[in-house]
Amino acid sequence: MTLLALSAGASSSLPFLIVGIWVLLLAVFLGFEVIQKVPPTLHTPLMSGSNAISGITIVGSLYCASADYPILSTVLGAAAIAMAMVNVVGGFVVTDRMLQMFHSKDRKTPSQKG
């Protein structure tokens, strides 16, 4: 059924699946290229920063709050929104905290905590 739709659509514009795979392919190559250059010193911030980026699924969860989704979907969407926001806000803030430490010696006021 979808195969029919796929071949029918191919004449005018590409189906999303094909476009999506294109994007996926290029993004994976880009990702490998970019991330290989990150030095070990920054692996923890890279990890928690990219972790925050994986919270992009928040975009999907906002769709689930739409009126034309059944109520159960909306409930799942609400849970997804809350969890994705913990991931996004927590991830970026914690990464920022870590990275500030790398700069603390530039401010010439070393903060000796704990």
Partner 1 sequence: MLAMLSMHYLVELGYMAASALFVLGIIMLGKVKTAARGNRWAGVGMAIAIGGTVLLLITDGAWAPRSYLIAIGAGAAGSLAGWWLAVKVPMTSMPEFVAFFNGLGGAASMCVALAEVPRAATGHDIEGVDMTTLADMGGVDFAVADGLSVVIGAVTFSGSMIAYAKLAGKLNGNRIGVLGRQQVNLLLGVICLGLAVWGDFFAATPATLYSSNGLLTLAALVLGVGLTVPIGGADMPVAIALLNSYSGIAAMTTGFVLQNNLLIVAGSLVGASGIILTQIMCKAMNRSLANVLLGGLQEAAAATKDEGYTKVKSTSAEELAQLLDAATSVIFVPGYGLAVAQAQHKVRELATLLEKKGCAVRYAIHPVAGRMPGHMNILLAEADVPYEQLFELDKINDDFKNTDVVIVLGANDVCNPAALKDPKSPIAGMPVLEVWNARTVVVVKRSLSAGYSGIRNELFQMDNSLMLFADAKKALEETISELKAL
CB of 10 to partner 1, least distance (A): 14
State yes or no: residue 4 binds partner 1 (CB under 8 A): no
Nearest to 80 by CA among 66, 93, 92, 94: 66
8 CB neighbour count, 10 Å cutoff: 10
- Among 8, 10, 14, 47, indicate the residue that binds partner 1 (CB under 8 A): 47
Near partner 1 in 5-44, by CB under 8 A: 5, 16-17, 19-20, 23-24, 27-28, 30-32, 34-44
CB of 7 to partner 1, least distance (A): 13
CB of 40 to partner 1, least distance (A): 6
Task: Check: CB of residue 53 under 8 Å from CB of residue 17.
Answer: no
State yes or no: residue 67 binds partner 1 (CB under 8 A): yes
State yes or no: residue 81 binds partner 1 (CB under 8 A): yes
Q: Cβ neighbours of residue 63 under 8 Å, at least 6 residues apart?
A: 69, 77
CA 112 remoteness from chain centre: 34
